[in-house]
């Protein structure tokens, strides 16, 4: 039996806008093995990102539970949920979402600060992480001085700042040209080979083909869960 790191039970998420209720997820049961590479795919607006937000502890389900290492994170206090994100999960988003007033190095250091890394060691570790994504010479560059691909690699370095077990990525190549996309994918697959559990929301067929498990979401339900290859 595989070691499960993420599990969901009858996961339901309903958004209310006035009297209108929208069911984004309608009972999703899922198990993601430790160290796997999972791609969440499906049409736009069918609940892929909502699922990632819930299993990443960025949002809370209306019903059901999300278990990480057996702990139901949907019942954690806001503070403990933030601590879990700081300790266990690294996020990468489609629009890079770097802090614009900080340099590449400082963006990575900020994540370390919240993970409890002492200030003294932050600078060296940030340099190492930026070297890992091939951007050691961009340590002092502001996001506005970097290309899209470079910004996304800084975002990946930041996601690794807390040495997380799980990397969650929402369309990480959705906003990149082909060359940048290849660079970013190389980095992501390398991180997976090094043992990270990667959960990636994507429309990209290439990523889906290379994933060990494909989770297809349609109309807020699990349409198909590919077996682990």
Q: Which residues bind other proteins (CB under 8 A)?
A: 53, 56, 58-59, 78-79, 82-83, 85-87, 91, 93, 95, 97-102, 106, 109-115, 119, 122, 158, 161-162
* Nearest-approach distance from CB 137 to other proteins, in angstroms: 20
Q: Which is nearer to other proteins, 76 or 223 (CB)?
A: 76
CA 138 vs CA 17, 110, 176, 184, 224: distances in Å: 43, 16, 19, 16, 41
Question: To the nearest whole angstrom, how small is the minimum distance from the Cβ of residue 105 to other proteins?
Answer: 9
Q: Which is nearer to other proteins, 191 or 213 (CB)?
A: 191
* Rounded distance between C-alpha atoms, residue 217 and residue 167, angstroms: 20
**Smallest gap from residue 157 Cβ to other proteins (A):** 12
Looking at the Cβ atoms of 113 and 228, the one nearer to other proteins is 113
Closest CA to 212 of 223, 224, 226: 226
Nearer to other proteins, 37 or 96 (CB): 96
166 or 214: CB nearest other proteins: 166
How many CB atoms are located within 10 Å of the residue 74 CB? 21
Is the Cβ of residue 4 or residue 102 nearer to other proteins in the bound state? 102
CB of 182 to other proteins, least distance (A): 25
**What minimum distance in Å lies between the beta carbon of 122 and other proteins?**
6
Separation CA 208–CA 226 (nearest Å):
10
CA distances from 147 to 139, 176, 178 (A): 14, 9, 13
CB of 54 to other proteins, least distance (A): 9
CA distance 209 to 206: 5
């Amino acid at each position: 039996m595989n070691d499960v790191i993420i599990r969901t039970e009858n996961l339901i998420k309903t958004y209310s806008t006035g009297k209108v209720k929208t069911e984004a997820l309608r009972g999703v049961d899922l198990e993601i093995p430790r160290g796997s590479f999972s791609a969440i795919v499906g049409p736009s607006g069918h609940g892929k990102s909502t699922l990632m937000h819930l299993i990443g502890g960025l949002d809370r389900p209306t019903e059901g539970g999300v278990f990480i290492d057996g702990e139901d994170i949907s019942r954690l206090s806001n503070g403990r949920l933030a601590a879990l994100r700081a300790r266990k999960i690294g996020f990468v988003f489609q629009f890079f979402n770097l802090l614009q007033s900080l340099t590449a190095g400082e963006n990575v250091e900020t994540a370390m600060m919240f993970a409890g890394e002492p200030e003294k060691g932050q600078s060296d570790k940030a340099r190492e992480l930026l070297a890992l994504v091939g951007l050691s010479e961009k340590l002092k560059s502001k996001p506005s001085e970097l290309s899209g691909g470079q910004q996304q690699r800084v975002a990946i370095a930041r996601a690794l700042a807390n040495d997380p077990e799980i990397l969650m990525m929402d369309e990480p190549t959705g906003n990149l040209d082909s060359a940048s996309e290849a660079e970013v994918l190389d980095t992501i697959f390398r991180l997976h080979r090094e043992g990270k559990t990667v959960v990636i929301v994507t429309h990209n067929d290439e990523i889906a083909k290379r994933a060990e498990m494909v989770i297809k979401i349609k109309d807020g339900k699990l349409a198909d869960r590919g077996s682990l290859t």
